[in-house]
Amino acid sequence: MTRVLIAYAGDYGNTEKMANACAEGIEQVEGMTCLMKHADKVRLEDMRDSDGLIVGTPVHMGCMDWRVKKMIDTISSGLWMQDLMNGKVGGVFTTGSGYGNAGGGCELTMLAMLNSFAELGLLIVPLPKMTVDFGLGGHHWGPYGRSASPSGNHVGVSEEALNVARVHGANVARAALAVKGAEIFKAE
């Protein structure tokens, strides 16, 4: 079996809902399985023994939740040192109150997680605009579950954002299958 690990942190259940939707998408792809864990619980082996990685976070002050960063610092840095993740695949998603009508920090939050992914040698899976409901839940780096309207009313993540997350999960799963066994990166 080919496996994607979903690691996430969150406060009010929105990020977990998005993670669940990604998981559904992954498991719709034949031959794929999913391991989903809160960032606090992820162990080095969970990451090492997966073929792909999806990390999700609420946007907190323009960057990822500190618990996600703690996981990256304490777990993935060890894998980086030993070059154990090269050639796997990775994707990201965020949730956010979306204060302001322009994402409120979700882009840099995604880029910050992807900066870690690049160091790990993961092939990055973006999110094409052709994705269903992209207009309401998409960003080119991954799904965005906006949990408030521009006027500030809390609305929770929408069905559309969950649809986008489902497709993203399946995309990452298909990417993991496509590159599995291929030796893409060589030292020279």
Closest by CA position to 55, among listed 29, 97, 103, 88: 88
Of 12-20, 30-38, 40-48, 115-123, which segment contacts a copy of itself by CB under 8 A?
115-123
Angle at CA of residue 43, ends 116 and 107, nearest 5°: 30
Residue 29 CA, chain-centre distance (Å), reads 17
Q: How far is the CB of 54 from a copy of itself (least distance, A)?
A: 14
Binding-site member from 35, 38, 44, 77 for a copy of itself (CB under 8 A)? 77
Give the binding-site size for a copy of itself (rule: CB under 8 A). 79
- Residues whose CB falls within 8 Å of the CB of residue 166, separated by 6 or more in sequence, listed in order: 21, 22, 24, 25, 28
Q: Considering only residues 131-170, where is the footprint of a copy of itself by CB under 8 A?
A: 131-132, 134-141, 144, 146, 150-152, 163, 167, 170
Which CB, 44 or 179, lies closer to a copy of itself?
179
Binding-site member from 101, 154, 155, 159 for a copy of itself (CB under 8 A)? 101
d(CA 74, CA 184): 26
Which CB, 2 or 80, lies closer to a copy of itself?
80
- Two structure tokens written together for 118: 């690049």
Binding-site member from 38, 44, 119, 156 for a copy of itself (CB under 8 A)? 119
Binding-site member from 112, 157, 162, 165 for a copy of itself (CB under 8 A)? 112
Q: Considering only residues 34-73, where is the footprint of a copy of itself by CB under 8 A?
A: 60-67, 69-70, 72-73
Which CB, 25 or 50, lies closer to a copy of itself?
25
Q: Token pair 């777990």 is at which residue?
A: 75
Which CB, 49 or 73, lies closer to a copy of itself?
73
d(CA 67, CA 69): 5
Angle at CA of residue 11, ends 6 and 14, nearest 5°: 65
